[in-house]
Each structure stands twice: as C-alpha cells, then as structure tokens.
Chains A and B, each alone.
Chain A
C-alpha cells in the first residue's frame, strides 16, 4: 500500500492549520499553504501567522516543539510545485465550489499521479467537487472531514466517490487511523454527512423546543446534557462553543441540499434573537459571549445567561429540576414526564433518535457509523441507537406513534428487538436487512470492552479486575471509583504477580476509563488521618511501595498503557513498569505536592533513577531536575511532553489511536518476553544537606516572587529532604530502599500537618487545589 511520508494542507484557517498540526504531531512533515496577502513583505505571512497563533492556542494544537518544526509554511503562488513531494494533499479552504475547483485544477497540474487529494468540506457534495475534473483526479479524490479541534476530536468522516480508487482511500484512511489517531467513519456522499446533519438537527430542535417549552437555557442544558450521557454543555453551551454564526450557515447549506420532505426542513423557523445576537458580536465563546457570557462590566466577572423570552442577559440561574434526580437511572421516567422539562426531554430526544433512524441508509449504511459519529464528533457517551436500546426500542416506537412523530424504517426493523445484542460473547449490530452481524474491529484494534464481553476475569476484587487478553498476556484493569488507588487494588497486584508467574508470560496495566488513574484514594487517606490510624497509614504507604517494587522486579515484563490522566500514584505505576506504551493524549506527572504531600510510592526514587543517567555527573543535576518538576506538580501536556519529562524512556512507545493502545501494549509486552531479566536496582547519588540548602533557597526565591505559598514552602522542604537524600554523603550512592524510606518518613510527616489536611479536604470537596 502507498506510504504517506509527507502531506500538504492548503488553507491555513482554524481547521487547515489544526489538521497540519496533527499531521506534524504524528511525526510527518507537512507543508501548510495559504494565499499571499497583498501588501505584506512576507509572502507566507498567512500560513506563518496561523502557526504562530497555534503556539498560543489552548488547548494546544501541537503536542511538542519538535512537531512545530515539521510544519513548513508557504503560499499557493510560489509553492504549489512542492505538492509533487507530497503523498496526500488536504484542501481546507473556504466553502466555495468555484474556488475549490480552481485550486483542484492547479493541484492536478503539479501533483504526482496517485497522490491523494482530499477536501475537508463539511457541506459540499463530492459529486459537485469532482464534476469536470480529470479522470485521474477523480480517482485520487475523497473527502476527509475533520472535527474541531483536529488534535482532540477523534472522528474523521471519510467519503469516497464512485470513481475513487479504493487503494487511495485505504491509504489515506490507514494513515489517518494509525498516524493521526482518528477513527474513520465511512459516510455516503449525502449532505452534511453524518455528524453535522444529525448533530445540527439535534441542536436546532434543542433550541426551538426550549423556546416553546419556556425553559431557561440552564434548564434546557441540564436536561439535554448529563442525563443522556451528553457533555454538560448540552445544547446552548455547545452552540456557544462552536459559534452561533456557524448555525445559520450550516442550516442554510443543509436546507439547500436536502429534499423538502426531510425532517430537517420541519425543524426550521426564523430566530430573530439568534440573528440579532450574531449581528451584535455575540457569536459565542470566540466573540463577546453567546447564550452564556461573562459580564466584565465594572471590572467584575458576573456569569450571565440569555433569557430566551426577553432576549436580554440576566444573572445565571442554576437549574433546579427535581425530575432530573432519577434521570440517570431511569430515562423512561424522564421522557414520559409531563413537566416542561420532561416534555422537552422527550421532544428533543424523540425527534433526534427518529431522525437518526431516518438518515439510514441515505447518510450511512449502518447504525454503528452513526453511533460512532455522534460519540466521537459530539462526545456523546452513547450513540443514538445505543440510547434507543437503553430506552427500549418498542417503548420508543410506541411513544413516537402516540405523539404522531415519524417512525422510520430502521426503527421498525428493530421492533421487538434491540439495535445491539451480545451473542456468544460477541457484540452484534442490527443491519438494514434485519439480521444481526458481528461488530468487526479493524486489524490491530483490541478493546478490553470486547474481552470483557467474551470472558470472565481471571482475578477480581472490589478495586480491580484481571483479564486474559490472549497469547499469555494478562491485563490488569482498575475498577475503583475514578480508578483511584487503594489497598484492595495493591493487594490484587500480589495475586496477579503470582498468577502470571504460574501460567502467563506478561502483564499489561490498562483500562478504558476516561482517565488511567488520578492517583491514590484521598478520601481513605483523610479518613485514616482523622481517626489517627497512623500505623495503618504507614502500612498503606509501605504496601504501595512494596506492590510497585514487586511489579518492577517481577520475573516477567510489565507494560503500562495509560490514556488520559495518569497522576500521582497513577504516574508512579508507569515509573515502575518495564515499558510504557502511552496514548498520545496522556497527561501525567507527580502532582502530590498540590495536595500537600510528596510522592510516597516510589515516585521520587524512580524519577531520580530515570534522570541520573541523562544528566551531567554529580549528585545535584538529577535531584534538581526532579525537584523542579515535582515541587511544581508538573503534568505532561501530551505523550511527547511526557518524554521530555523523562517519564517515557527511549524504548517506550506512543500510540496515536486510542483504540490501538491495548494491542500495541500487548505487542510491546510480548516483545520483551524472550530472555527477560528484571531490571537492576538503581544506585542513586544524592547531595545530602548541601542539596537541601540549595533547594530550600530556590523555593524561598519563588516565595519572594509570590509564586509559592507558605505551605508550598513546607511541602517543597519535605520533598527537598527526600531528593537530597537526607543526610547522604555526596560520594556514597544510596540504594532504592534508602530513598524509599525517606519518602515514607516525609510523606507521613506532611500528613501530620493540618495545612496538608486542609488541602486534601478542599480537593476532595471542590476538585481544585487549595493554595494555602
């Protein structure tokens, strides 16, 4: 298959620039071109400006500084010839057919035959885009529709035309999947494809029904968010996020291309309020505000929301809806409610699920594509058909009929059944032919969710489960609340180690939670302190250290595979693994100082051991580096950043696609099996009292600058004691146990400090750090 080694992106707007950044994040050189702006000396100013702007954008489009260097900027007048060096050209210019086709002709004249060309259009059909273009161009052309922001949104809608060469489509899809980390959803060449057609319909219905029901925006979002597994931004919060001005634009485009019989037309009505808000610059978060705004008049920061009845801003009102109390567990109760909120829930969800069924088979041939599009493009926890299963298909049909709402063919097909079922441990989906078929994962995709459907855990307790993922590899999964780490979890490590030694080859530590682990169970720690169970606490700290050391020195390979946050104790697991296979979007670090303690499960020790060989000789450099990171609770902003922090080592890997993480981790573990020997314990040279003095002086400097609080100084002092090795001699290396003992001693000392306890309590209550 054709390899993609270099890519060009034409159009350096938010989408084009973001796509270029993600290609660079994948380690692939990318050419970013835009027009020459008249009157500017730098002919590449537009593209260069887009890159400069991305360096200041949060969340960051780039994963690392090295990625930035992979973007070469240029302009479409001087640099089109360079397209001949590229294997894929992504067009992301303004949504105008004439301009796009003009550009395509120029691209076609310079590209190598076989170079894929794709458009990031969200509204123009492929058939229109390729009309009149050369046969060769049509063969190499497809639509690749990214979502904003391209680094973080996992969905990529791919549309191939009748003339598209399947090999070209496969090459682009494979690169987008493996290198860019996107989940490919194949769509038909239908208006708005899947996610925007269904998503914008849902938003539009969400606005209209809220106005009709007389709900506030806060109430509407409270109903349409969490209860349905939809982000808490609901409808109005999401419109603020994507931009109010985008709505009329996408609406108009969809209305223009969808037949009059399409329900999309029904969900339309003039909204003078929206028009006025856009005209006044209330375009959402990118403008002066939207349905919600932060009123800074008079130097204040007042949260306000739009009153849908009066069209005026008023103070934000928290939604008080008793009908939501049970909503998470009983969707039918919410949907059959007779209150305005209940009616709203039903009107919006009923119409949206009905429309989801309506667009089959026009927009997509199967329910999985539509569910995937809404989960990955709109961050819904469940897709519309999964939601329909939760609600009950027959119940849904009956209620739609009762309310005189359409029941499309796909819903009728599912009558008396469900859209998904598990058969012989395999997930199956209902097809348009009325038959169930196995949900097939792409080669190289291994999901624990599938393993769990097909088997029982080989070990389990209240905090963790262990699964056989085949080929002699076990997978250790955290199952505790928020994947927090506790004594039960630690004790299961011991049993797991014994089991692997008996019957298996290797262990992978992995889970499919939103976060790998945010660290130790602080609530339990606080409870133990409050009852002054100091002996128990010391035992817990020691048990954690022992469990992690047992993993490190187990006679088989242990590979950790984090995604999302891996903080504190969650990071310490990584540090004790033989190898790490890290999802690109992993945010990891030793953050203990934020809650007033220090890493106590070997984090200090392992981080010192990692840094010591990488820095100049002597006792200070590694200790100083680790002190800087840990005292400031530094967290990586990507896997690439975790490498810069020394958490990822040379032989550790990064997986771009979340769905490929477990398979990659398993392969890494198996690659270590042959001739495996446990690591040699590190000897760590530390400075002793001189180092402590130097670290304390540095912290005093931060205190003077107002960057460190009084308790920060105390906590950093305890950390300084550990990282300087206590009363170590700078020429006598310490062994790991010496440093671990210091970790325990200083950890416990801090737990005796009331200001540390205040920090822990505050974090448990608010989820935020206390700066005392």
Chain B
C-alpha cells in the first residue's frame, strides 16, 4: 500500500466569535487565504492537486453551496482542481485527511488539500434552520443533545470535579500563551486580511486566566453543574489546511514530510456522552498501528470541554507531558470544521520539535462519535 504523508500545515488565526477580528470576514475568504498560503509555502505544483476536501460542520450561508470548490476559485487554483465539502461535525477536516489518504492508497490521486472552515459568528451553531426529527428523539432522546449537557454528563459519570476542570483550563491557556510568546505558533499562522477586518494572531488566548477567576464563573449549562464558559472551548472563527500526498510524490518533488499517516479510525458512542468518543476511536487506531499509548510522544486531544478531555486522557492513559503541548481548544478556540486539520497538522509539526516518533490526534464529535489519527515521524 502507498505510504501517505502530511507535507504541509497552515491555519488562520483563531479569533472569538462576534467579538474577534475575523467576525467581519467571510469564512470562504478566510479559508481561501489559508489554502493559498499553504500552496505557496510548500511550493506544491498546483496542477498536481487532485481535490480540495473541506470539512465544515454547518455548511450553509457563506460556507454553503459546495464551499470547497468555491475556495479553489477564490484561492486561484487551476480549474482542474476539484472540490468536495464534507461534514462530520467537529471531526470534519480530520476526516478529510482520512479520505485523502484512502484516495491516494486507492490510486485515485497523489496530492490533496484537506482543509476545514467555520465562522461561528456568521453561521450560528445549529445552522439557520435547525429542524430535528421528532421520530428520532422518540427513539434516542439524546440524539440532538446540546454539547454542554454532554460535558456535564461526562463530568458527572467520570467524576471530574470543577476544580480539576479549571486547573486543566488554566493549563491550556498557560501553554498556549507560552507558545504564542515563544513564537511557536508563528510558523503555522497565515495572517488574514478581509475588506472589513483581519487578524495576524490568535485572539482567544487569555494569559491572565487563573483558577480564582475561573472559580468565580457561573455554570453555563446547568445551575447545579460544574461546566462553565471558562472550561469550555469558545465559539470561534477560523480555517486550517494540511497538504496530504503520497510519500513518493513528496520525495519526487522535494516536499517536506512532516509525518506519515500510520493508522486512522472513527467510532460511534452514546450521544449523551459524546465527549468520550476519542477513547474508542483511539483504541482502534492504536490497535491498527500495533502500538500502545506508551509509544505515543505527542498527543493532540481536542479540548471541546475540560471535562471530556480529562476523562479521555485518564481512560487512555495519556501522559501529561505529551498532551496538547502548545495548548488546546479551550485556549486557542474551536472553529468546528477547522479543528481537525489544525490538530492533525499540529501533531505532525510537533513530532520534529519534540524529537518524538509517534503522534496521536483525536477528537470527540457531537451526536456521539470519536475520530483518531496516528502519525509517524518520517
């Protein structure tokens, strides 16, 4: 089977929904600038790109139609580059990587751009016309459960108390702030310029956050609950993209090989505890790679909520020093469709920096799923 590599990674700054600097920029404009920068920075021959696969959790409005194809136009890629938009909620753009890898191994292309997009300012969570089906709810009451409620459920069932969640949120902000200060985020970020706004750096990080500040917040989802806005990832605007190609192609064209895709997996779970989804997906992926968690040197575990990230880390036995080294979504933000490409690209990039061999990128997915990718340093 053909070996597939991550040959480049770029993303926009992630900024707060409505309050941030990207609120007045269309998501397709953000994504196009990220894709263009990825192409320019890697120097890939655009004529060789088979397809642009774009993950998006609410593909409507300005990120509607087939936004992937439209972004190829905005980014000035040749008309020969195809485009497909896919939706697996928060796992969308990680799944774009899986799809590209599968296509490459099927012999259906050599080079793919796997991107993700989400303006949570301009397209509301749930979309403009959320229309749940009463028949499903009759069968599975939690089918459309709100994400906050799942975070509370996980906190309760896994016994993750509020103080632990807050300590984790502080950890995320501290690490993200340190990474930002040290310039460790600079290489991945593409400054975005729109007609009505623009951003050059991440806008969600709060370096001043402390356990005391967080302890003063009211519960966000349940009066008797433990999850607050401070221990949840914020609503965020942003886009991310990775370049995926066969290892042969990378070698032949002198592209950087950040990491090789070792194994992938998706798995379903009870929607009411969707945050635990990464556990089943990761176990499958580890088994397919013939590895154990002890072999993993870099973990990017998406922090939808502190409660679920802590529960997953505990169940999987993730070592703290390997986890979200430059901070996670609680600090950086979580533009739903874009996060998968970010953490896959980030995990691949970190392998060289920390001198590790294997990396894991994994996410929980609303509706009850998990997705995981295991990468190997080349």
Residues of A whose CB lies within 8 Å of any CB of B are 615-621, 687, 689-691, 693-694, 697, 701, 704-707, 730
Whether, in the assembled complex, B223 has its beta carbon less than 8 Å from a beta carbon of chain A, the answer is yes
Instruction: List B contacts of A687 (CB < 8 A).
Output: 129, 131
A620 lies within 8 A of B128 (CB): yes
Considering the chains assembled together, what is the distance between the CA atoms of A619 and B129 in angstroms? 7
Describe B's contact surface by its main secondary structure.
loop
B149 lies within 8 A of A704 (CB): yes
Report B271 CB to chain A, min CB distance, Å: 13
Residues of B whose CB lies within 8 Å of any CB of A are 61, 126, 128-134, 137, 144, 146, 148-149, 219, 221-223, 225
Known: A616-B128, A694-B130. 10 other contacts (CB 8 A): A617-B128, A618-B128, A620-B128, A620-B129, A620-B131, A693-B133, A693-B134, A701-B149, A704-B221, A730-B131
Instruction: List A contacts of B128 (CB < 8 A).
Output: 615-618, 620-621
Residue in chain A with minimal CB distance to B123:
A616
Considering the chains assembled together, what is the distance between the CA atoms of A707 and B223 in angstroms? 8
Considering the chains assembled together, what is the distance between the CA atoms of A499 and B130 in angstroms? 48
Considering the chains assembled together, what is the distance between the CA atoms of A621 and B124 in angstroms? 10
Report A762 CB to chain B, min CB distance, Å: 24
Instruction: List A contacts of B137 (CB < 8 A).
Output: 693
Report A705 CB to chain B, min CB distance, Å: 5
Max chain B C-beta neighbours (<10 A), residue from A687, A689, A693, A707: A693
Considering the chains assembled together, what is the distance between the CA atoms of A621 and B130 in angstroms? 9
Instruction: List B contacts of A693 (CB < 8 A).
Output: 132-134, 137, 144
Considering the chains assembled together, what is the distance between the CA atoms of A617 and B149 in angstroms? 29
Report A644 CB to chain B, min CB distance, Å: 16
Considering the chains assembled together, what is the distance between the CA atoms of A705 and B225 in angstroms? 9
A selection of 5 A-B contacts at a CB cut-off of 8 Å is A617-B129, A620-B130, A691-B131, A704-B223, A705-B221
Considering the chains assembled together, what is the distance between the CA atoms of A690 and B221 in angstroms? 22
Considering the chains assembled together, what is the distance between the CA atoms of A687 and B126 in angstroms? 15
Residue in chain A with minimal CB distance to B126:
A694
Q: A616-B61, A701-B146 are in contact. Are A694 and B132 (CB under 8 A)?
A: yes
B131 lies within 8 A of A705 (CB): no
Residue in chain A with minimal CB distance to B133:
A690
Considering the chains assembled together, what is the distance between the CA atoms of A705 and B218 in angstroms? 10
Q: A618-B129, A704-B221 are in contact. Are A690 and B146 (CB under 8 A)?
A: no
Instruction: List B contacts of A616 (CB < 8 A).
Output: 61, 128-129
Max chain B C-beta neighbours (<10 A), residue from A621, A697, A730: A697
Instruction: List B contacts of A701 (CB < 8 A).
Output: 146, 148-149, 221
Instruction: List B contacts of A694 (CB < 8 A).
Output: 126, 130-132
B222 lies within 8 A of A704 (CB): yes
Instruction: List B contacts of A707 (CB < 8 A).
Output: 223
A690 lies within 8 A of B149 (CB): no
Report B224 CB to chain A, min CB distance, Å: 8
Instruction: List A contacts of B61 (CB < 8 A).
Output: 616
Q: A705-B222, A706-B223 are in contact. Are A697 and B144 (CB under 8 A)?
A: yes
Across the A-B interface, how many residue pairs have beta carbons closer than 8 Å? 54
Instruction: List B contacts of A617 (CB < 8 A).
Output: 128-129
A690 lies within 8 A of B131 (CB): yes
Considering the chains assembled together, what is the distance between the CA atoms of A32 and B139 in angstroms? 62
Report B221 CB to chain A, min CB distance, Å: 6
Residue in chain B with minimal CB distance to A730:
B131
Report A398 CB to chain B, min CB distance, Å: 66
Instruction: List A contacts of B126 (CB < 8 A).
Output: 694
Report B307 CB to chain A, min CB distance, Å: 16
The 9 closest A-B pairs by CB, nearest first: A706-B223, A618-B129, A690-B131, A620-B129, A616-B128, A704-B222, A693-B132, A689-B134, A705-B223
Instruction: List A contacts of B223 (CB < 8 A).
Output: 704-707
Considering the chains assembled together, what is the distance between the CA atoms of A270 and B137 in angstroms? 76
Contact of B219 among A615, A619, A621, A705 (CB under 8 A): A705
Report A151 CB to chain B, min CB distance, Å: 28
Residue in chain A with minimal CB distance to B145:
A697
Considering the chains assembled together, what is the distance between the CA atoms of A693 and B145 in angstroms? 12
Considering the chains assembled together, what is the distance between the CA atoms of A693 and B131 in angstroms? 8
Report B284 CB to chain A, min CB distance, Å: 32
Considering the chains assembled together, what is the distance between the CA atoms of A691 and B146 in angstroms? 16
Residue in chain B with minimal CB distance to A701:
B146
Considering the chains assembled together, what is the distance between the CA atoms of A691 and B149 in angstroms? 20
Considering the chains assembled together, what is the distance between the CA atoms of A694 and B129 in angstroms? 10
Report A620 CB to chain B, min CB distance, Å: 4
Considering the chains assembled together, what is the distance between the CA atoms of A617 and B61 in angstroms? 10
Max chain B C-beta neighbours (<10 A), residue from A618, A701, A705: A705
Residue in chain B with minimal CB distance to A698:
B146
Residue in chain A with minimal CB distance to B130:
A694
A690 lies within 8 A of B144 (CB): no
Considering the chains assembled together, what is the distance between the CA atoms of A598 and B315 in angstroms? 49
Contact of A697 among B131, B133, B146 (CB under 8 A): B146
Max chain A C-beta neighbours (<10 A), residue from B126, B130, B137, B222: B130
Instruction: List A contacts of B131 (CB < 8 A).
Output: 619-620, 687, 690-691, 694, 730
Instruction: List A contacts of B222 (CB < 8 A).
Output: 704-705
Considering the chains assembled together, what is the distance between the CA atoms of A337 and B65 in angstroms? 83
B219 lies within 8 A of A690 (CB): no
Residue in chain B with minimal CB distance to A624:
B130
Considering the chains assembled together, what is the distance between the CA atoms of A704 and B61 in angstroms? 31
Instruction: List A contacts of B133 (CB < 8 A).
Output: 690, 693
Instruction: List A contacts of B148 (CB < 8 A).
Output: 701
Report B206 CB to chain A, min CB distance, Å: 21
Residue in chain A with minimal CB distance to B60:
A616
Instruction: List B contacts of A620 (CB < 8 A).
Output: 128-131
Considering the chains assembled together, what is the distance between the CA atoms of A730 and B130 in angstroms? 12
Report A679 CB to chain B, min CB distance, Å: 26
Instruction: List B contacts of A619 (CB < 8 A).
Output: 129, 131
Report B231 CB to chain A, min CB distance, Å: 16
Q: A616-B61, A705-B219 are in contact. Are A621 and B134 (CB under 8 A)?
A: no
Considering the chains assembled together, what is the distance between the CA atoms of A689 and B219 in angstroms? 30
Report B107 CB to chain A, min CB distance, Å: 41
Max chain B C-beta neighbours (<10 A), residue from A616, A694, A704: A704
B129 lies within 8 A of A621 (CB): yes
Residue in chain B with minimal CB distance to A620:
B129
Instruction: List A contacts of B132 (CB < 8 A).
Output: 690, 693-694, 697
Considering the chains assembled together, what is the distance between the CA atoms of A690 and B136 in angstroms? 11
Considering the chains assembled together, what is the distance between the CA atoms of A704 and B145 in angstroms? 13
Report B136 CB to chain A, min CB distance, Å: 10
Instruction: List B contacts of A697 (CB < 8 A).
Output: 132, 144, 146
Residue in chain A with minimal CB distance to B218:
A705
Report B208 CB to chain A, min CB distance, Å: 18
Report A524 CB to chain B, min CB distance, Å: 38
Instruction: List A contacts of B146 (CB < 8 A).
Output: 697, 701
Considering the chains assembled together, what is the distance between the CA atoms of A544 and B128 in angstroms? 34
Report A704 CB to chain B, min CB distance, Å: 4
Considering the chains assembled together, what is the distance between the CA atoms of A166 and B248 in angstroms? 89
Report A715 CB to chain B, min CB distance, Å: 20
Report B308 CB to chain A, min CB distance, Å: 18
Considering the chains assembled together, what is the distance between the CA atoms of A467 and B149 in angstroms? 58
Instruction: List A contacts of B134 (CB < 8 A).
Output: 689-690, 693
Considering the chains assembled together, what is the distance between the CA atoms of A705 and B132 in angstroms? 22
Report A729 CB to chain B, min CB distance, Å: 11
Report B60 CB to chain A, min CB distance, Å: 9
Considering the chains assembled together, what is the distance between the CA atoms of A690 and B137 in angstroms? 10
Residue in chain A with minimal CB distance to B135:
A689
Considering the chains assembled together, what is the distance between the CA atoms of A763 and B134 in angstroms? 36
Instruction: List B contacts of A615 (CB < 8 A).
Output: 128
Residue in chain A with minimal CB distance to B219:
A705
Considering the chains assembled together, what is the distance between the CA atoms of A181 and B60 in angstroms? 46
Report B25 CB to chain A, min CB distance, Å: 19
Report B27 CB to chain A, min CB distance, Å: 15
Report A615 CB to chain B, min CB distance, Å: 8
Report A104 CB to chain B, min CB distance, Å: 43
Report B61 CB to chain A, min CB distance, Å: 7
Residue in chain A with minimal CB distance to B137:
A693
Residue in chain B with minimal CB distance to A693:
B132
Considering the chains assembled together, what is the distance between the CA atoms of A689 and B129 in angstroms? 13
Residue in chain B with minimal CB distance to A689:
B134
